Amino acid sequence: PLLTQIDTRACPQLTNLDARLKELDWPLLNKFRNYPSRVIGSGDRGQNDGEFNKPWSACFDEASQRLAVSEYDNHRVQILDTLHSYESRGMIGQGNGSEAGQLLNPRGVCLQATTHHLVVCDGGNHRIQLFSMDDYKFVLQFGSRGREPGQFDFPFGVASASSGSLVVVDKDNHSVQIFDSLGHFVRRFGQQGNRPHELKGPRCVCIDSYGRYLIADRDNKRICVWSSDGSQCIRTLPVG
């Protein structure tokens, strides 16, 4: 489940998603290879149930077979039921704003491993918010705009470790931050640059079976593999 996060802007396989979400044969998800491909949404921008406006990221809840899709310009996360023709089952986000539970240009999403909460990069508000997947209500938030530890400058991607700790890609601070399951800052690694231990405009992150962090270092056109404690970049893989 740690590799079920898909960031539509960081991954070149996901294209033409301005007003629609298309299921693809994603190479990291071998168990989904035999699932039929299909298009979700009308192809037109909209704000109604089942419509999208710049779908940005998605994650899949295997337990309930629901798909959570963040919508950049609708300032919400839409929950779709994959067992019933991808019908919309609810919205997360109470409109464009900065109050708790509101979203502004949300980006990456994931499910927290221990609580099953939906974790949302509330990019325009420079914070992370957690929501219950039972009733879609706000649970907690952390972060603010800035350059100090625990602050963000456009968080783009997020992943959950098996312990429930959260790994957040901090795009314009050119770094990655790690928080415990309650959102308390633990550590940060990376700085702006193009050397192996540096990042430039990172977009998304996932965690492999060894606990290593795979980071889409977009502006350096590479994938960086960092150790599980964030102390070193083990290798870089050029892309594009």
Q: Between 15 and 73, whose confidence is greater? A: 73
- Do residues 166 and 185 lie in contact, with contact meaning Cβ atoms separated by under 8 Å? no
Instruction: Specify the pLDDT at position 25.
Output: 37
For residue 70, which amino acid is it? S
Least reliable range by pLDDT among 21-25, 65-69, 162-166, 185-189: 21-25
> Considering the chain, what is the average pLDDT of its residues?
86
pLDDT tens-digit map of 27-42: 444 544 555 566 777 6
Percent of the chain whose pLDDT exceeds 90: 73
Q: Between 176 and 22, whose confidence is greater? A: 176
Residues in the chain: 240
